[in-house]
Structures are given as C-alpha cells and as structure tokens.
Structure 1
Amino acid sequence: MRGLLVVNPKATTTSQRTREVLAGALRSAMELKIGFTRRRGHGHDLAASAAADGVDVVVALGGDGTVNEVVNGLMTTPTGKRPRLAVVPGGSTNVFVRALGIPNSPVEATGVILDALNAGSSREIGLGKADDRYFTFCAGLGIDAAVVRRVERARYRGRRSTPSLYLRSALNEYFFDAIRRDPGLTLSAVGEQDQTNLANVIVQNTAPWTYLGDRPVHASPQASFDSGLDVMALTALHPPSTLRTVGKMLALRDEDYGKRVMLRHDLTEFTVTCATPEPFQLDGDYLGEREMVKFTAVPAALQVIC
C-alpha cells in the first residue's frame, strides 16, 4: 500500500517531534512519502499529484484548511482512481475530524487510522461544492464569514487561534458591524419559492457546524455526510432574537429557532445571491467577498478511513 502524508508544518497543535512519531507509526502500515505544504493551496497540489500517481491513501495532518485543500486535490481524480482519505488533526478546531467521530488527539487519531487500515475499514461520505470548490463540513455568507475574516487578520498579527479569540471576534463583528448592515441575501432552490431578505446563510454538509472549545455548536442538527446540504439563515440580526438563537445552537434543545430563522434540509442544489458583496468562508477559510455562490451536494464523493 502506497501513501502520502501531507503535513502542514504550521499546524498549531503538533510539533516536529510529534509529526516524526506519527509518520513512523503510519510507515508500519504503508510505504509512506511525506509532503510539506509551503504556501496556501500547496496541499491541493500535493494531493492531486499523489492521486494522479496512483497512491492508495492520502493522509492530511493539519487543520480544517489543510483538509479542504487535500480533498480538493483528491477530487481532481475520477471516482474509481481516487485515493482514500485519512486525517490526523493538527489544527485548533478540527471540525471535520470530530464530525467523523475520530478523536481530537493526533496520537489517538493515528491509532484509529492504523486500526481501520488493518481491518480494511472506511466510510463513504458526500461533500458540498460552492461554485468550483468542494467543502467538507460548512460554508457561509455574511456574519460567520466576517468573523472568520477577523480571526484570520488577528492570526496574521501573531494571535493564537483559540475559542476566546473566536468569541471576541464574533461579539465585535456583531455589535460593531453586522447589526448595522442589511446584506439582502436571497436563497433560490430548485422547486422552492425564493427566500429573500436573509441576514446571513450557513450551509452545512454535516453536523455540528463548529466547536467552541469542546462544546459542539449546531446550526442545522440534521445535517449529515449521508444526505444533501442543510441551510440555516437568520432573517434579522436583532439582539434579543439572535441571542436566543445562539443559546439554542449551543444547547441543542430543539430545532424550533423561532420565526426569524429559516431552516432547509437535504438540498441538492441552490444559489445564494447578495444585494452587495458579502464575506464568504469555506471550511473555516475566508475566501473574500461574493455576490453569488452556487451550492451543490456531491453524494458518495470520498472514501474516508475511520
């Protein structure tokens, strides 16, 4: 069995020594090569090259951004020739790994991968697609993407990516910017009436939407790798109703978010348009501003070792 380990050397929760130990463990199960990402998008190129070369397994060691790049690289290869994917968590949040039920510890996750390889076990999952780029767990237009933008700017200034940084960024974005704006988002789904005047749109390919430390945050609790895409959108950002909605997302008491929330489950294809350019994020990476994004569910896209 031939494998490639794609390593983000800047991953926040692993050291060089840890990476060496994990690579040594993986070598016990396969003929392993290692590729280090050197720039944004390099994970895509490494995975695409490995897939074209007929590698059997590509292991991503990094955060959700690294996983997204690797997945998009794998998807350049036709289904029958596509390598299986394995993920060792190395980021600050690691939503994709935890959504699969894999431990958030790099060492424990590697143990799960080795056990699955020995047993020949893997899971088929669907992906989401936003225009021409695939995503594993979520995408967003509006305030959540603006929060990601704030966090990325803070990280460029040397701040560590922590739950408190995300929380402060969310509060600052909401109270100093979002509640004064009217983005005028419209969701157009096949066979449905357009949903207009939305304040934000969160698209999920699985649940949860994200994590705040160890606490899962659910926007669309029914979202699953085995179904289409789910959408949660706020129709307004008024403080009382928004705070109630956030409380329910954290507590997961029910899915009755109230009249200011729109939910859609298992959508195959839809488009979101914006009255003015809005912040856009994919799997926790800020990708600039967009006026329109077409979303598509891609069933049975990847085999994941877990």
Structure 2
Amino acid sequence: MRALLVVNPSATTTSARTRDVLVHALASDLKLEVATTEYRGHARDLARRAAESGNTGLVVALGGDGTVNEVVNGLLHDGPDPENLPRLAVVPGGSTNVFARALGLPNDVVEATGALLDALREGTERTVGLGLAGGTPGTEDEGVPSRWFTFCAGFGFDAGVIGRVEQQRERGKRSTPALYVRQVMRQFVGETHRRRGTITLERPGEEPLENLVMSIICNTAPWTYLNNRPVYASPQASFDTALDVLGFTRLSTAAAGRYVTQLLTSTPERGPRGKHTVSLHDQTQFTLHSQVPLPFQMDGDHLGVRSSVTFTGVRRALRVIV
C-alpha cells in the first residue's frame, strides 16, 4: 500500500531518533513517502494533495491533535467519501492526543506504531463521524470557511482558556495540566462581567435555548485528559453518533466550582449536571449565536472570536486504522 507519513517536527513528545525508528518500521510494510510540515496549514495541504492524487491509500499523522485536525481537513477538502478517500492513521506525538486516545490507541509513540502495524496487517479499521463548523448564513460570520473537527469544539469560556494557553506556549511555557488550571482561573477572573449568558442555541423545529454562558461541543468521549485522567463533558458522545452539547446558564463562583468538581470526577456514566446545565445528545445540526463576539476553538486550536457558528454532525465521515 502506498502511504504518506505527515510529520510535525515540533511535536511535543517525539525526537528525531523516535521519528527515524517510526519511519523505518512503517517503511518495512508500506510504500512510504515522508513529508515534514514547514508552516501552519502544511499538513492540510499535504493531505489534500494525497487525497487528490488517487494513488495514496493511507495518510499517517505523526503529531498532536492540531496536526491530526489539519490532515483531516485536507483529506475532506471536497467532502466525506469514506469508500474512496485515503484512510487515516494516527501516531500520537502531542501533549494530550485526545483523538488518538479516544480511538483506544496507546499514548506512546513506539507502542502506537506497533498497534498501527498490527492493525494494518490484520486489516482492522472503523469509520468515524466528525463535526463540521462554519459561518452562519445571514450573519457577519457568513464568509468564514467551514472546518472539520475530530473530538471537540468550544464557544465561550473554554475557548478563551485555550487562547490564553496558546499565548503562554508562544512565550516558551510547556503545555501541562498546571498551565491549563492557571489559565482557567485567570479566564474566570477576567469574565466576571459575563456571569450571565449571551449565547442562544437554535435547532430546527425546537425552541431556542437561551442565556448560555459557554458551550462545549463533543464528537466523542472523553472531552480531554489531564495527564492520564479522562474528563467527560458529554459521556454519551461517540464517533458513531452526531454531536453532543454541554452548556451552562450560570457561571457564578459557586457554580463554577461545582462544575469543575463534576468534570474532575466525571465518569463514562456521569458528567456535569444540575439546573443550570444544558445537555444535548446526538445533534445533527444547530447554531450558536452570541450577543457579543466570543472566543472559538476546534480540537484545541484557538480560532479567534465569532458571533455565530453553525455545527453539523456527520456520521461515517472517514475511515481510520485502529
């Protein structure tokens, strides 16, 4: 099988030696081409060319969730076509690797490579659903291009936290759970004027849900990890269904403390709950509007601020080697 390995040389947990071992292992079973990313969006461009070439059967992403997101968007540039597009494989090399771990892959490069080779030899794969988000027609965000995401998106508070974390990483800070906790506290202090919600969720044929302070959109569970601890915002979310939504209508100090505790103690059976919690399962399409522009993120990548975003859950969008 002809395959393309897309390597992010800045991947947090890999070294040049580790990458060489990976390339050697994959080349023993595949007709392998290796491409190293050189700029933001390069992985997307490489994957798109592989999909358009018609002679590549597999694209392997070596990197974190951002690299995987770019590769997915390149593969699905012209839309989902699971039977004809190259399959995706992931070797986790980032700090969190939510997508790979949600697929059940080891969080170690060497172990994940071994699991990938075993899956290729045994021919095991699954077709996963993905989320698609874009500008909303009739709003100032109408011209924003649609973009696929693999495991989550966020509108409001959590996206603001990710924006703060990215600023710290640009200053040389390592991405650690402690860094995220500090930025959560700073974001909360900075949002004291927004304890009441500005977000409205609209669904076809349903009454609007108003006054959301923040919203988390999940395509799978867990939502994220703190080191090896899985965090479940929407425990029912799955690659086999459409999208789940978790929203809060209050973010007072007491409420925020309760939600954080519920997230930290969440399980596959039980996530955040309470009278100020909105939880929706298996949503095919919905739109989030905000009275003021709010931070927006997809797969842990801060994308600036938006006033309105339309989400679509697409079942069976892409084949993945597992």
- List 4+ stretches of structure 1 deviating above 3 A: none
Matched, 1:158 2:158: no
Q: Look up the equivalent residue of 2:113 and give its one-letter code.
A: T
Residue identity matched to 2:163: R
Q: Does 1:108 align with 2:111?
A: yes
Which position in structure 2 is the counterpart of 1:72? 73
1:217-247 deviation line (CA, Å, top 9, x unaligned) = 1111100000010000010111112211221
| Whole-Å separation in 2 of the counterparts to 1:204 and 1:73 | 21
Work out the percentage of aligned pairs sharing the same amino acid. Answer: 55
Is the Cα contact below 8 Å between 1:183 and 1:275 reproduced in 2? no
Q: Distance in 2 between matches of 1:150 and 1:246?
A: 18
Partner residue in 2 for 1:144: 158
**253-262 or 21-30: bigger deviation:** 253-262
TM-score, normalization: structure 1?
A: 0.97
1:31 is aligned with what amino acid? Answer: K
Residue of structure 2 aligned with 1:294, choices 310, 315, 318: 310
Cα deviation code 1:131-171 (max 9, x no counterpart): 11000000001110000000000011111111111111111
Q: Give the whole-Å Cα distance in 2 for the aligned partners of 1:163 and 1:27.
A: 35
TM-aligned CA deviation for residue 76 of structure 1: 2.1
> Structure 2: how far apart are the matches of 1:264 and 1:101?
24
TM-score (norm 2): 0.93
Q: Answer yes or no: is the 8 Å Cα contact 2:233–2:246 preserved in 1.
A: yes
In structure 1, what is the Cα distance between the partners aligned to 2:117 and 2:191? Answer: 45
Determine the structure 2 residue equivalent to 1:267.
283
Q: Which residue of structure 2 lines up, in the alignment, with residue 51 of structure 1?
A: 51
For the residues of structure 2 that align with 1:167 and 1:61, how far apart are their CA atoms? 27
- Listed as ranges, the matches of 1:83-102 within 5 Å are 83-102=86-105
Total equivalences in the alignment: 305
Match of 1:125 in 2: 128
Contact kept, 8 Å, 2:285 with 2:313, in 1: the verdict is yes
Looking at structure 1, the residues matched to 106 and 52 of structure 2 have their Cα atoms a distance apart, in angstroms, of 30
Looking at structure 1, the residues matched to 151 and 124 of structure 2 have their Cα atoms a distance apart, in angstroms, of 22
The answer for unaligned runs of 5 or more in structure 2 is 135-145
Deviations 1:166-201 (A, max 9, x none): 111111111x21232245001001221100110001
Q: What code does the residue aligned with 2:294 have?
A: E
Residues in 2 aligned to 1:219 and 1:191: alpha-carbon distance in whole angstroms = 25
Question: After alignment, is 189-198 or 7-16 more displaced?
Answer: 189-198
Match of residue 238 from structure 1: 252
Q: Does 1:19 align with 2:19?
A: yes
Aligned counterparts of 1:235 and 1:177: Cα–Cα separation in 2: 18
Query: What per-residue deviation string (whole Å, max 9, x for no partner) do you get for residues 5-55 of structure 1?
Result: 001000010001100100111111110011111111111000000111120
Equivalent residue number for residue 238 of structure 2? 224
Report the CA distance between 1:256 and its aligned residue.
6.0
In the aligned structure 1, how far is the partner of 2:297 from the partner of 2:106?
A: 25
